[in-house]
Structure 1
């Protein structure tokens, strides 16, 4: 992780800008509530096809990208395999997350049209969103348009954070049924990005606090050092987080509408995980979709300036390399 030495002044500036933006967002929502894209409530061109027909179509469907698992199933849909770390997961967490976002927010996301069980996993069939990715469009945008993009993404993140985990629900992927699932997140580090499952929020906190202690021990930090008392921040409830918000996962659709795609890592986590995940991805332009410094400056505005939590994770990141 790259060091981030943000000052108190920077934190205060981002906090004030966030308050202003949220006030404006609330006012705009009161005046004119955003509508669900019309195409999302219309019938799909696969409605009359059976599951076996869809599985057969997938065999000859063209890939959307040479290195991607998603294929163009029909003119209006794409299909992608579920990516749950649990081999025996009874349902695909990505589809569960998309359904939760579709029903609980106005964020433009591909609507799940069908979930089909195949031999090794699930096939998730969802709407195909036409348009370039934001990574392709970003260099052509004016500074003002880039700021508007950041404002829109902040509105999306605000809506996601209103979707709190149900009482007693474990952290991690959304499950319609079954026990807690293995968590996958950039916050867990590059060496092993999946951990758990964690039966409770307390278990997630205990995992990170143990790794923090081990990192301090490896660095021969004195037992009375104040860093020993700086623990994992679990002060806020678990909320729905995307964890893969980058320019490659945002499609610029009709009318300039921003569609948020690829919810494979989504789950219930502390709110600051979204910020740490975005900062972590910004370390590599190939992952984030850009090396633009202005985009990096906008991330604390989009997700909130969780500088302290990012420094805490960075300080103990070596311990996350250990199995």
Structure 2
């Protein structure tokens, strides 16, 4: 088969795949809109019931003392269960001297502006160069634990629910003055999304604007193309960071391990430490990169374009410049 023929077939397959997912997304959104009119849009009752914490009577000093290894929720977690209903999580902000905890800001925003079940923040404690966030403990199992046991129908129901969550998040658009990245009262913060920024995270500086974010990625693209010695007249030299849409709010680490199937039957979203304002397609790219690569998750990967939208071109562009993200001039 000639190279031109192979390219034509590849293009046709990609176009068909995009059309399939796009049509599926349109149908799902239409169904969701109809259901939202038939069923009153009310706040999650479980969230409304949680008004206080059983750790309210504990002093800040006592809370800090309770943060010990045996109380960790999981070996690689930074969250500790300090009482039967309360978790203390150490913030993971990369900025030195941060004036607030971005994850607490994210949880507050999502709790106030969406119907997505999330832990409620009860207190934020400043401890030296870090913050400790007291939030609700959500009893249940992670979707990572349950996913292999689910039927295709049940997995599809999860995908539909997550797509509804993503739609709500992406209605939270940044204002023109809002910088990309984590939420903060202090202004621009370092973007901590390792699914996109990879090993360069520690050497990044905050982006003051959406335009700065686009310039950064376009520069990294040039580094990658130069690294591979791509000719100056090659079509790939004209491809750019997609900033055609607004910055929208995203979780940026939406994996089965960060979804709790609660005892109440709800799908609770936890671990908002990398949440922030990014282009909508970034949620898709991070879900593919942060997802579990076990064989049980092959169907999960197939559902990601439906959950987030089929941003195939943007993700392929990002993959093509990865070498540029690892090296700095």
Q: Among 308, 313, 316, which residue is 2:321 paired with?
A: 316
Superposition TM-score, scaled by structure 1 size: 0.92
Q: Among 240, 253, 260, which residue is 2:249 paired with?
A: 240
Q: Equivalent residue of 1:7, what SS?
A: helix
Cα distance, 1:306 vs. partner? 0.1
- Classify 1:162/1:100 alpha carbon distance in 2 versus 1 (closer, same or farther; 3 Å): same
- Classify 1:88/1:148 alpha carbon distance in 2 versus 1 (closer, same or farther; 3 Å): same
1:144 to 2:149 alignment: no
1:279 to 2:288 alignment: yes
- Classify 1:60/1:271 alpha carbon distance in 2 versus 1 (closer, same or farther; 3 Å): closer
> 1:282 touches 1:291 (CA, 8 Å); kept in 2?
no
> 1:61 touches 1:72 (CA, 8 Å); kept in 2?
no
Moved more, 188-197 or 138-147: 188-197
1:55-74 equivalence runs, <5 A: 55-59=64-68, 62-74=71-83
1:299 to 2:265 alignment: no
1:7 to 2:53 alignment: no
Per-residue CA shift, 1:128-158, capped at 9, x if unaligned? 0000000111111111000000000000000
Cα distance, 1:39 vs. partner? 4.6
Cα distance, 1:197 vs. partner? 0.7
Cα distance, 1:89 vs. partner? 0.3
Moved more, 42-51 or 15-24: 42-51
Residue equivalent to 2:215: 206
Superposition TM-score, scaled by structure 2 size: 0.91
Residue correspondences, number: 315
1:98 to 2:103 alignment: no
> 2:148 touches 2:296 (CA, 8 Å); kept in 1?
no
Residue equivalent to 1:123: 132
**RMSD of the TM alignment (CA)?**
1.9
Cα distance, 1:293 vs. partner? 1.3
Residue equivalent to 1:186: 194
Q: Among 9, 25, 49, which residue is 1:18 paired with?
A: 25
> 1:186 touches 1:243 (CA, 8 Å); kept in 2?
no
Residue equivalent to 1:262: 271
- Classify 1:58/1:219 alpha carbon distance in 2 versus 1 (closer, same or farther; 3 Å): closer
Cα distance, 1:34 vs. partner? 4.3
Q: What CA distance in whole angstroms lies between the structure 2 residues aligned with 1:212 and 1:187?
A: 17
Q: Which runs of 5+ in 2 are unaligned?
A: 1-9
- Classify 1:60/1:188 alpha carbon distance in 2 versus 1 (closer, same or farther; 3 Å): closer
Q: What CA distance in whole angstroms lies between the structure 1 residues aligned with 2:296 and 2:68?
A: 37
Q: Which has the higher contact order (CA 8 A, sep 6+)?
A: 1
> 2:80 touches 2:88 (CA, 8 Å); kept in 1?
yes
